[in-house]
Amino acid sequence: MNLIAKKLLIKSKKRVFSEIHGNNSSLLKADGYDFLELKEYEYGNDVKNIDWVISAKLQKLYVKVFHAQKELNITIVNIMGGSMHFGLHKLKSDLCNEIACLLGFIAIKQGDPFASYILNENLELLTKASKKIFAVTEMNQKISQYKCLNKSIDYSNLGNILFKNIRKKSLLFLLGDFLESKTLDLKLLSKKHEVYVIVIREKFEEKPFALSNVNFIDPSNGKNFSGLLSKKSLNNYHQKIKQNDHLLYEHIESCGIKIIKIYTNDDALAKLMSFLK
């Protein structure tokens, strides 16, 4: 295990078990019968959980939130194309590893099994479903050693691959940068699983500053690019990123899926806790 991977593993474990209080703090929730709380209705919530009496009294829609009575199946899918090998503060692949470890430790703290995968051109099992801390260590090591350069993502088929291969109904976390994801289709997948999308980005790749002569290598296919990055070309690039993300968020919301963006310089656990609550 390399030093970076070892440090983030120790840091993730320490923070989850010290900063998230209680033996079963239930950051990860699913359908069940043990009533937890009422919350204001949000787009994508199951309408069968609406409390019509409270909603009528308060003149707003409220839904019931439940603790799951049985174990949750947590599945972590790391979408590791070549573009994940990039970052100024830290590599996006390292942030992906950190978030995966945090989710793994949260699952274990709650007493739920988790399984993990890497997905790009193929779907590769990293760890089978487990409640053991060793499984997080194994996942951490395999992600840190994985060579994602020159790997591409077929977003048009991503949902189908996961639908066919992940058979148990799960809380399914998709971790990746979701660049060039205009053809992403998660409608079928979201009917089978409770899906959470975590977009991992470097701020520079969304708003790059002007550079003179540059020589870039596309990490997804190894192709070289040499030239001048003018303000016009940067504006065009920025507009393409905005268009990609607009379509991504629009599609995700239409599927009733929760989505968050975490940057390489963010506090990953703080953002995760806010997201999961």
CA angle 119, 120, 125 (to 5 degrees): 30
In the numeric block, the tokens 């993730």 are attached to 12
Closest CA relative to residue 248, chosen from 239, 259, 238? 259
| Per-residue DSSP letter, 219 | T
3-class secondary structure, 140: helix
Tens-digit pLDDT profile for residues 1-49: 688 888 889 999 999 988 876 544 467 776 554 567 788 988 878 888 8
Q: Are 87 and 148 in contact (CB under 8 A)?
A: no
Which domains does the chain carry? 3-23+73-276 (3.40.50.410), 34-67 (no CATH)
pTM > 0.85: yes or no: no
The widest CA-to-CA distance across the chain, in whole angstroms, is 65
In sequence order, what are the residues at sequence separation of 6 or more whose Cβ sits closer than 8 angstroms to the Cβ of residue 6?
Answer: none
Tens-digit pLDDT profile for residues 183-239: 999 999 999 999 999 999 999 988 887 666 777 787 888 788 777 777 788 888 889
Query: Which H/E stretch holds residue 82?
Result: none
